[in-house]
Amino acid sequence: QVQLVESGGGLVQAGGSLRLSCAASGRTFSNYAPAWFRQAPGKEREFVARISWRGDSTYYADSVKGRFTISRDNVKNTVYLQMNNLKPEDTAVYYCAARSPVTNDYDYWGQGTQVTVSS
């Protein structure tokens, strides 16, 4: 089992920045490939960004490319999402997830953290 706890959400004006953190505990987190997803009210959950287990490969949704940066610290068992130049359409609950090397699915999810961007 891997437990994930997000933090760092809040209310920010458009153009502002936030950094989300996802603290992992349980099994060796370095073996898992984490990602961030988000879900806006009335919309389906969507992929935001992911990072490889070594941290040397990243991938972003087109909507956040160039504004968001995902990173990880395997010593601290923490994944980060630096969000710059935030837009009102970034408003959502942001979830951290971990992809199992066995199933290759996102088997573990955090409880989410709310990000609200005002115009």
Q: What is the pLDDT of residues 44-55, one digit of tens each?
A: 999 999 998 888
- pLDDT for residue 93: 98
Q: Report yes or no: 34 and 101 within 8 Å, Cβ to Cβ.
A: no
> What's the rounded Cα separation, in Å, for the pair 80 and 94?
12
> What's the rounded Cα separation, in Å, for the pair 97 and 3?
10
- pLDDT for residue 31: 81
CB atoms within 10 A of CB 91: 18
Predicted confidence (pLDDT) at residue 30 exceeds the cutoff of 80 = no
Predicted confidence (pLDDT) at residue 64 exceeds the cutoff of 90 = yes
DSSP state of 63: T
Q: Report yes or no: 83 and 17 within 8 Å, Cβ to Cβ.
A: yes
Which carries the bigger pLDDT value, residue 114 or residue 31? Answer: 114
- pLDDT for residue 115: 98
What's the mean pLDDT in 19-27?
A: 90
CB atoms within 10 A of CB 83: 27
